[in-house]
């Protein structure tokens, strides 16, 4: 298929497998030059605090692994441990936000943690990246740290919810408004990541339950075909719209379609997940772009189109449905918008995931493992 075109110039390893030491990835090179500091901090330059969020560090680790860029991986990991995890990820979940602190009168400017609460979406991806780095680079220290971090996630960022089972919470603090209500985020639980953690950590048996509850959080919260940014689960009532976010599908939920589109074809729950969001595909076909915001209670889309990152994120989903012309149009839209105006941090991340996948930089297997191009063959240059 068009997104799987690859060249046959690779290095033969001693095992006889075809492998390239690294593959050209211009989007990753651009990200490193524009968004990553020399000491390993992913910066959101659009904010006055010049913030770094743990999610950005997590995604950076994944991209560095996909690029076979171990020096950058280690820079990102070291900065994350030293600045977000009090020097030790095996003991502390990373704070989710770091940046420029507001200076008091007469005091010098300072930098540091702005919000010490952790974010499970970042922590899951960090644990995943560490486990996969340990496997692909044959480095036991990564595997050990990923295993311990996963245990910390289980202890501090999951809870047993009646009738739903053990479930990933967005963070340790602030997501249970009352004793019978839990606030969840579907975009926090990519099934590839949850599947891999369940298989890689068989002694941490809770991951099996978390995989099933994550599947339900995805497929049972989008009755109109659009994933919500946030959803409530109420004891005895099940999933309910989150009025605080106006039950909106927007900048969080766009990742749900991205994760769905990059699932391996033989993944057990893939067909159900893809079918859940078909109305989104129809909407993209009708308007030529994904909507920026949708009311998930009614399925009514707002008047504004999503940005380049939105198009890059939905393109793999459209391709997974077999709507290749529509997927290609979104790839072209994302590239065109990026040429017109530099992409911000979040749009760059969505583009690295979505366009990188369609360009053949990586794929996922059904067991959740990542297969980077450098382990097989490099994609043809664009």
Show which residues are catalytic: 121
Distance of alpha carbon 54 from alpha carbon 225, whole angstroms: 29
- What are the angstrom distances between the C-alpha of 176 and each of 115, 155, 157, 180? 18, 16, 12, 8
- What are the angstrom distances between the C-alpha of 144 and each of 90, 132, 135, 337, 373? 9, 11, 11, 42, 25
Distance of alpha carbon 127 from alpha carbon 144, whole angstroms: 10
Tokens linked to 293 = 């915001």
**C-alpha closest to that of 226 among 241, 211, 213:** 241
Which residue matches tokens 């644990």?
A: 127
Distance of alpha carbon 286 from alpha carbon 290, whole angstroms: 10
Q: If phi over 0 gives left and psi between -120 and 50 gives alpha, with beta otherwise, what is residue 323?
A: beta
Distance of alpha carbon 269 from alpha carbon 221, whole angstroms: 15
Tell me if residue 92 falls in helix, strand or coil.
coil
Distance of alpha carbon 321 from alpha carbon 316, whole angstroms: 9
Distance of alpha carbon 228 from alpha carbon 303, whole angstroms: 18
Tokens linked to 244 = 């605080």
**C-alpha closest to that of 81 among 100, 57, 64:** 57
Distance of alpha carbon 369 from alpha carbon 131, whole angstroms: 9
Angle, nearest 10°, between helix axes 120-137 and 191-200? 60
Distance of alpha carbon 48 from alpha carbon 68, whole angstroms: 33
Tokens linked to 73 = 């991986």
Residue ranges in 89-246 assigned as alpha helix (H): 120-137, 140-156, 191-200, 206-219
């Amino acid at each position: 298929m068009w997104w799987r075109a690859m060249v046959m110039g690779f290095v033969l390893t001693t095992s006889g497998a075809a492998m390239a030491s690294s593959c050209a990835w211009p989007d990753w090179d651009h990200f490193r030059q524009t968004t990553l500091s020399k000491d390993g901090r992913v910066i959101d330059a659009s904010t006055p605090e010049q913030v770094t969020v743990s999610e950005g560090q997590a995604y950076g680790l994944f991209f560095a692994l996909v690029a076979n860029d171990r020096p950058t991986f280690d820079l990102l990991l070291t900065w994350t441990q030293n600045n977000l995890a009090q020097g030790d990820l095996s003991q502390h979940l990373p704070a989710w936000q770091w940046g420029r602190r507001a200076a008091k009168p007469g005091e010098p400017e300072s930098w540091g943690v702005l919000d010490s609460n952790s974010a499970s979406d970042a922590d899951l991806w960090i644990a995943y990246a560490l486990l996969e780095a340990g496997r692909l680079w044959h480095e036991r220290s990564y595997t050990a740290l990923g295993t311990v971090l996963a245990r910390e996630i289980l202890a501090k960022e999951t809870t047993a919810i009646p009738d739903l089972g053990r479930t990933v919470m967005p963070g340790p603090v602030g997501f249970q408004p009352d004793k019978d209500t839990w606030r969840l985020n579907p975009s926090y639980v990519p099934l590839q990541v949850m599947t891999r953690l369940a298989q890689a950590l068989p002694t941490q048996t809770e991951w099996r339950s978390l995989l099933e509850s994550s599947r339900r959080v995805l497929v049972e919260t989008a009755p109109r075909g659009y994933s919500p940014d946030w959803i409530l689960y109420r004891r005895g009532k099940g999933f309910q719209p989150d009025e605080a976010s106006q039950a909106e599908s927007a900048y969080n939920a766009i990742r749900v379609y991205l994760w769905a589109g990059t699932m391996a074809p033989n993944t057990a729950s893939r067909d159900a997940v893809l079918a859940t969001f078909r109305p989104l595909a129809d909407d993209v076909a009708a308007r030529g772009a994904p909507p920026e915001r949708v009311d998930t209670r009614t399925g009514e889309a707002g008047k504004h189109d999503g940005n380049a990152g939105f198009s890059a994120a939905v393109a793999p989903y459209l391709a997974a449905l077999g709507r290749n012309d529509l997927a290609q149009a979104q790839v072209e839209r994302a590239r065109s918008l990026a040429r017109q105006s530099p992409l911000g941090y979040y749009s760059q991340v969505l583009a690295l995931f979505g366009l990188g996948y369609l360009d053949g930089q990586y794929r996922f297997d059904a067991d959740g493992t990542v297969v980077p191009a450098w382990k097989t063959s490099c994609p043809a240059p664009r």
